[in-house]
Copies of this chain bind each other. A is one copy, B any other.
Amino acid sequence: MLSNRHVHLKEEDVAALFGEAGLTFNRYLSGNNGPWASNEFVTLKGPKGSIEHVRVLGPCRGYNQAEVLQADCYKLGIKAPVRNSGHHDGAAELELIGPCGALTIHSAIIAHRHIHVGKELLEETGWVPGETFVKVHVGGIRGLVFENVAIVKGGKGMMMHVDVEEGNAAGIKNGDKLEIIL
């Protein structure tokens, strides 16, 4: 799955941005459950520039987090590090602006490319979430091998997540089948 820039919020910070109505469900990102796109958007504001119309994903998490593209960092004037979700050491400061107010977070990151692996498959492979890294081969005219792909738990089977710059660089789109190189 290719992810564009997006935002995760803590339950208690939603009202500051969107008022009492909170986040409203738009659609599941994949299948019939799991993470979903809300109908709510924020503007990201950094020291150099802003990016409008950035979608908030649900459900809420235990932390606020903006996942941005490297190109966004240049535009915003921030240095977001490449990190796994929820890992915010050295993460960048960014202001989120909603229709009802603003919020400064210290957790803007570029998502580390990863593969969600279901429980059964983790047992079968012996892969350890957070410790195992694999390579993934992509064929075609923009063919490449992604190295340093983190294994994380979640979902069923396997689903690789890259951001749109990574996906576009490899010439892939949602639903493409890729090859893991061990």
- Chain A residues packing against B (C-beta within 8 Å): 69-71, 82, 112-113, 141-148, 162-166, 168-171
Contact = CB atoms under 8 A, between A and B. Distances in A.
B169 A169 contact: yes
Contacts of A162: 169
Contact of A148 (B69, B82, B141, B148): B141
Contacts of A70: 168, 171
Given A82-B142, A142-B148, A143-B147, A168 B112 contact: no
B141 A144 contact: no
A164 B71 contact: yes
Nearest to A168: B70
B82 A171 contact: yes
A127 B141 CA distance: 20
A-B pairs with lowest CB-CB distance, top 5? A70-B168, A169-B169, A143-B147, A145-B145, A166-B169
